[in-house]
Amino acid sequence: MITIALSKGRIFADTLPLLNAAGITPLDDPEKSRKLILDTNRAEVKLVIVRASDVPTYVQYGAADLGVAGKDVLLESDCMGLYQPLDLQIGTCKMMVAVREGFDYVAVVKSGARLNVATKYVHIAREHFAKKGMHVNLIKLYGSMELAPLTGLADAIVDVVSTGNTLKANKLMAVEEIMPISSRLIVNRAALKLKRDQIQPMIEAFERAIQ
């Protein structure tokens, strides 16, 4: 049995063509079904539908053999020893620093003032500002980070930006790119050893599909 952990929404939709290329077709649509374990056209392959931030945990503990997770999720997770054979080049976006329109970020950084930064991505943000030698107060949020500068909770946010429409709609602007983000295939190392005959061809099919 091979179990693949995926999250609903963007990752599931973008992974479908790659699964198809590996000869795997889910028998249910997770957007319509309430099932959390989906059968596929291949009796020995199942998909488990979990929260995006839980994908690395399922794979680390071997409850799933493979998974698809964003680089942002992987950098924020404490999971160790996951094999990451492929950048799937899906779910691409950028991790950015953003502030209210009109906020002079460059001048504030130059002045050495301590910034309040709200984010879901505290590991990534801490490392970024430490590298720049900036002192910041990090405020952990779980969503709707755009609200933080508008309500005075924070001076800046660190968030993923795709089209930039959400920032624009909230009168925010991106001022610094931290890193490009995309989704990665992750594999449990023990599973790869024990089930290499089944897993290796899948990795190769995904790789061909990306190219």
The distance of closest approach from Cβ of residue 31 to ligand AMP in the complex, given in angstroms and rounded to an integer, is 17
- Shortest approach of ligand AMP to residue 162 CB, angstroms? 3
Nearest-approach distance from CB 207 to ligand AMP, in angstroms? 21
Q: Which residues bind ligand AMP (CB under 6 A)?
A: 70, 91, 93, 159-166
Contacts for 165 with CB less than 8 Å, ≥ 6 apart: none
DSSP result, 34-103: --SEEEBSSTTEEEEE--GGGHHHHHHTTSSSEEEEEHHHHHHS---S-EEEEE---S-EEEEEEEETT-
Q: Which is nearer to ligand AMP, 182 or 198 (CB)?
A: 182
DSSP state, 153? S
Q: Which is nearer to ligand AMP, 5 or 160 (CB)?
A: 160
Pick 165 or 211: Cβ nearer ligand AMP: 165
Cβ-based nearer residue to ligand AMP, 93 or 186: 93
Q: Are 18 and 207 spatial neighbours (Cβ–Cβ below 8 Å)?
A: no
Residue 50 Cβ vs ligand AMP, minimum distance, rounded to whole Å? 15
